[in-house]
Structure 1
Amino acid sequence: MTHLYLIRHGESVANVQPIVAGMRGDAGLTKRGIAQAERLRDRLATSGEIKADVLISSTLPRARQTAEIIQPALGLPIIFDDDVQELRVGEADGMTNQEAWALFGVPDFDRYPLRPIAPGGESWGDFTLRVSRALTRITTEYEGKTIVVVCHGGVIDCSFIHFFRMPSLVVPPIDFHTRNTSITWWERVNRRHQQLWRLNSYNDIAHLQGIGAVESVRWEDTHPASPVPTEE
């Protein structure tokens, strides 16, 4: 059976400051984010609960740093993959939310799911298609293996859309809140005479007791309008 573990990065600077964080604006993890990743590393090393065959990471600094911290617990080289990055923000990268919204307009993927967040960036439809393609490619290439992917809240959101075969060109009428360094575990099983994906766990943050996992800034806190429905 194929096991897919999606791990969100630790708390990042962009989680606690109103920064639009693509490759330029991503300042990596906060001190608490580092501590969260270290807690996850220690949990995985002690429990041995994930016997991974492959470790993949987004190339964005906050995910890369998280993957590098947990790598010793898994004992695998990191394969860096651009296709499991968060939604690409184009020319808004590195701006504050207020600066970006003033220049490019407030993102509203509920009403305009095919409008990019900024020139050179992705729309909701672009993003879900990219993530679906990446998940298909990764799970096909490593079929029958145990795969760990260190990624982002939006990527984990899209995994539900992908595996549950939900409409991908509209924002789902639910609110995900994927926690930093949480584990989401998908398993491919034989049921009803076919291969189906089973969700075994979501938002597993047992290792964060005493550290906390609530971000200080949400997109909607920075502007009285609809948030970008990916990573908070």
Structure 2
Amino acid sequence: MTNLYLIRHGEAWANVQPILAGMQGDKGLTPRGVKQAERLRDRLAHGELKADVLIASTLPRARQTAEIIQPALGLPIILDDEVQELRLGEVDGMTNQEAWAIFGPPDFEQYPLRPIAPGGESWGGFMLRVAEALTRITREHAGKSIVLVCHGGVIDGAFMHFFQMPSNVLPPTDFHTRNTSLTHWEQVHRRGRLLWRLNSYNDIAHLHDIGATESVRWEDTDLQAPGGHPASPVPTE
């Protein structure tokens, strides 16, 4: 039986500042994000999760989260570029306002196959990459318990992939994945074949007394406000 545990990174500077954070713009975790990851580490140290493999996105905020929880799992970290958040291309490291002034705000609702910027990904391309990465990882480690430290958009993509939702358009649902939350998928034999079953989503029991503040979302803030985010639906950072 294969178990896949998806962990979103702790709160990152990219979650509280209007910075587009790929490899250049990612400044890692905030102090609150470090504390969240430490709480998860302490929770996992009690043996709740018996992992065989620990994989992390190469983006600093995910890698730092994996390094914090690694002692609780006692496993080497396998870094994987293919479970990064949506790739930003030329806007990496810019503020939202700087990027949209040059390239225009992304509109994945109307144009899901248009890249966010030159060298970046479209929504459809991102979802395809996530699906391919999850297929490869679960096949390479079939029968094991896999911990994957990644991003909100990757966890969104897991829903699209395992539920076989159309991946070239935005879903008619809104995901709300919290920092350092646990999402557990289990592969089981049902109806004469292997199926993926969702056992839990957004488990943040380890944050019960410090909470998990919602990250800044571009579509919920005023573009005209200083440092504001434009009103465009894009994946969770």
Same fold (TM over 0.5): yes
5 Å-filtered alignment, 1:69-218, equals 69-218=68-217
Structure 1 residue 12: Cα displacement: 0.1
1:184-220 deviation line (CA, Å, top 9, x unaligned): 0000000111100000000000000121211352112
Q: Is 2:41 aligned against 1:35?
A: no
TM-score (norm: length of structure 2): 0.95
Aligned-partner SS, 1:160 = helix
| Structure 1 residues 147 and 28: alpha-carbon distance in aligned structure 2, compared to 1, 3 A threshold | same
Q: Which amino acid aligns with 1:138?
A: I
Alpha carbons of structure 1 residues 19 and 224: separation in structure 2 relative to 1, 3 Å: closer
Percent identical residues: 78
Of 3-12 and 209-218, deviating more is: 209-218
State the AA in 1 paired with 2:233: P
State the 1:226 CA deviation: 2.2
1:24 matched to which residue of 2?
24
1:60 equivalent in alignment to 2:59 = yes
- Cα deviation per residue 1:52-100 (whole Å; 9 max; x = unaligned)? 0000000000000000000000000000000000000000000011111
Distance 1:44 1:145 in 2: 17
Residue 226 of structure 2 corresponds to residue 227 of structure 1? no
Aligned partners of 1:8 and 1:152 also within 8 Å = yes
CA deviations 1:7-40 (Å, max 9, x no partner) are 0000000100000000000000000000000000
1:112 and 1:138 map into 2 onto residues whose CA distance is: 29
For the aligned residues, what is the CA RMSD? 0.9
How far 1:227 moved relative to its partner? 2.4
What amino acid sits opposite 1:78 in the alignment? I
Paired with 2:42 and 2:230, the residues of 1 have a C-alpha distance of 40
- State the distance in 2 between where 1:100 and 1:184 align: 32
**Distance in 2 (alpha carbons) for counterparts of 1:215 and 1:20:** 17
User: Structure 2 vs 1, CA of residues 216 and 127 (structure 1 numbering), >3 Å: closer, same or farther?
Assistant: closer
Aligned residue pairs, count? 230
AA aligned to 1:211 is: I
Q: What letter matches 1:15 in structure 2?
A: N
C-alpha contact 1:13 1:27 (8 A) present in aligned 2: yes
Quote how far apart the aligned CAs of 1:224 are.
4.8
> One-letter code of the match for 2:13?
V
Name the counterpart of 2:225. none
Measure the CA separation in 1 of the matches of 2:99 and 2:211.
Answer: 29
Q: Is the 8 A contact 1:32 1:211 kept in 2?
A: no
Q: Is the 8 A contact 1:16 1:215 kept in 2?
A: no
Q: Which runs of 4+ in 1 moved over 3 A?
A: none
